[in-house]
C-alpha cells in the first residue's frame, strides 16, 4: 500500500474531484447498529490504532485513507456514521452518492445482524445504484461468544450480492477495504459520474429534504 500525496491544499482547489493525478477517490460510508465497532474499524484502517473505549460517534466522523490497488492509487473518503437508531435520519446525507458502504454487525449480537439487514435493504432502495456493499461481521476476536454464524451471514450476503468478511478492529481490517477497492470500477469515466453524488453536493438536496428528521 503506497501512500499517495494528499490531494488538496490551498484555496480554491476542490480536493474531492474524483480523479486527480490518477488517484481515484471513493466515498465510503459505514453503517450499522451502535457499538458494533464502526469507528474502531476505521480507526484501525486509517491510523492503525485501537481504543478499547472508543467514544461513541455523534452525527458522523470523516476520515480519508489512500491505498494502492493493482497499480491504481485509490483514496477512500470514509464517513463513519452514528449508530443509534435516532440518528437514522442523518444517514441519507452520508450514504447518498457513496460508491461503497460497509454495513457492520458484531458477531456476538444477533440484533446487530438484524439491523444490518435493514441497512442493506435501505441501501438497495435509496443509495445511488452502482454502490458496492460489504457486510462486516466485526469483533471476530470474540469468537467464543459468537452468536451470528458465518454461514448464516454468508448465505445472506450471497443472496443480496454483498461482499462478506469477518473483521476484528483489534487486529486486522485492511482486507475488507482492499476487497472493496478491488471491486470498485476505477475508470475515469466512472469517477466522473460519481462526481454528481459526492458529499459536497449534498447540502442542496439536504436543505430540501431536511437533515434531522
Interaction site with another protein (CB under 8 A): 7-16, 34-35, 52-64, 77, 82-84, 86-87, 89-90, 93, 108, 111, 139, 141-142, 145, 199-203, 206, 210-213
CB closer to another protein out of 66 and 133: 66
Question: Burial letters for 178-207: b for 16+ Cβ neighbours within 10 Å, e otherwise?
Answer: bbbbeebebeeebbeebbebbbeebeeeee
Nearest residue (CB) to another protein, 44 versus 133: 44
Backbone angles phi, psi at 135, to 5 degrees: -105, 125
Between 150 and 163, CB nearer to another protein? 150
Per-residue CA distances from 194 to 4, 12, 131, 155 (Å): 21, 21, 10, 30
Q: Shortest approach of another protein to residue 21 CB, angstroms?
A: 15
Min dist CB 18 to another protein, Å, is 12
Residue in the block written with cell 449480537: 109
Nearer Cβ to another protein (3/89): 89
Q: How far is the CB of 82 from another protein (least distance, A)?
A: 6
CB of 160 to another protein, least distance (A): 26
Which CB sits closer to another protein, 129 or 210? Answer: 210
- Residues 6+ away with beta carbon under 8 Å from 140: 107, 166, 167, 168
What CA–CA distance (Å, rounded) separates 86 from 79?
17
Closest distance between another protein and the C-beta of residue 34, in Å?
A: 6
Amino acid at each position: 500500500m503506497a501512500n499517495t500525496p494528499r490531494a488538496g491544499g490551498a484555496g480554491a482547489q476542490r480536493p474531492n474531484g474524483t480523479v486527480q493525478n490518477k488517484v481515484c477517490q471513493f466515498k465510503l460510508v459505514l453503517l450499522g447498529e451502535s457499538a458494533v465497532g464502526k469507528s474502531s474499524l476505521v480507526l484501525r484502517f486509517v491510523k492503525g490504532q485501537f481504543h478499547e473505549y472508543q467514544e461513541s460517534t455523534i452525527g458522523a466522523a470523516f476520515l480519508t485513507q489512500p491505498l494502492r490497488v493493482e497499480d491504481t492509487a485509490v483514496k477512500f473518503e470514509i464517513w463513519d456514521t452514528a449508530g443509534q437508531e435516532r440518528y437514522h435520519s442523518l444517514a441519507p446525507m452520508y450514504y447518498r452518492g457513496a460508491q461503497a458502504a460497509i454495513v457492520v454487525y458484531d458477531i456476538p449480537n444477533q440484533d446487530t445482524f438484524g439491523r444490518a439487514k435493514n441497512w442493506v435493504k435501505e441501501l438497495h432502495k435509496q443509495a445511488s445504484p452502482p454502490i458496492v456493499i460489504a457486510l462486516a461481521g466485526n469483533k471476530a476476536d470474540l469468537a467464543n461468544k459468537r452468536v451470528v454464524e458465518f454461514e448464516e451471514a454468508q448465505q445472506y450476503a450471497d443472496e443480496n450480492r454483498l461482499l462478506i468478511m469477518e473483521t476484528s478492529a483489534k487486529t486486522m481490517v485492511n482486507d475488507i477495504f482492499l476487497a472493496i477497492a478491488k471491486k470498485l470500477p476505477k475508470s475515469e469515466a466512472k469517477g466522473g459520474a460519481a462526481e454528481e453524488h459526492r458529499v459536497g453536493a449534498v447540502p442542496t438536496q439536504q436543505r430540501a429534504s431536511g437533515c434531522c428528521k
